[in-house]
Amino acid sequence: MTAADLAAEPQARPVTAAMARSHVRALLGTRAQAEAPSSTTVDDILLVVTELVTNAVRHGGGLVAFDATLDGETLTVSVTDASPTAPHTVPRTRSTAPGGFGWPLVRQLSREVTVTPTAHGKTIRAVMAAGPGA
């Protein structure tokens, strides 16, 4: 499947992190082997996708839109949710308490992260390296 084939297919909005990962994995799979990112980079990209979609569902009032585009050696993922509240890290009160790692991971693993308010929530856009040297 080429990037053009993937773009031509009707895209249903993913409703789960697994569906979003599948879409991004297929998009990355359109690259020739010599242009493909390392398996570690793919894992990092899929972790960012998982965190963004999971947080939209869990904390953002639901996933409103999802988009992923591959341009050269750069992958851009945009997730829109229904909450106007900007992402933030909640201070951990106990070392055994679950959660609190996702937003810092997204910021650490992305080249650029922006949060843009929308009429009914916000869009988070993460730009990541997706080339062979990444």
pLDDT digits (tens, 9 = 90+) for 79-108: 999 999 999 887 766 666 666 788 999 999
Which has more confidence, 33 or 5? 33
Residue 133 in this model has a pLDDT that exceeds 70: yes
Per-residue pLDDT tens digits for 42-87: 999 999 999 999 999 999 999 999 999 999 999 999 999 999 999 9
What percentage of the chain has pLDDT greater than the value 90? 69
CB 123, CB 65: distance < 8 Å: yes
Q: How confident is the model at residue 10, as a pLDDT?
A: 44
pTM: 0.85
Largest CA distance in the chain: 48
Tokens for 113, please give them: 């992260």
Q: Does domain 13-90+99-129 have CATH number 3.40.50.720?
A: no
Contacts of residues 106-113 at CB distance under 8 Å and 24 or more positions apart, as own/partner, are 106/48, 106/51, 106/52, 109/44, 109/45, 109/47, 109/48, 110/48, 111/74
Q: How confident is the model at residue 123, as a pLDDT?
A: 97
Q: How confident is the model at residue 92, as a pLDDT?
A: 65
Domain ranges for the chain: 13-90+99-129
Which has more confidence, 3 or 27? 27
Average pLDDT, the chain: 87
Q: How confident is the model at residue 1, as a pLDDT?
A: 37
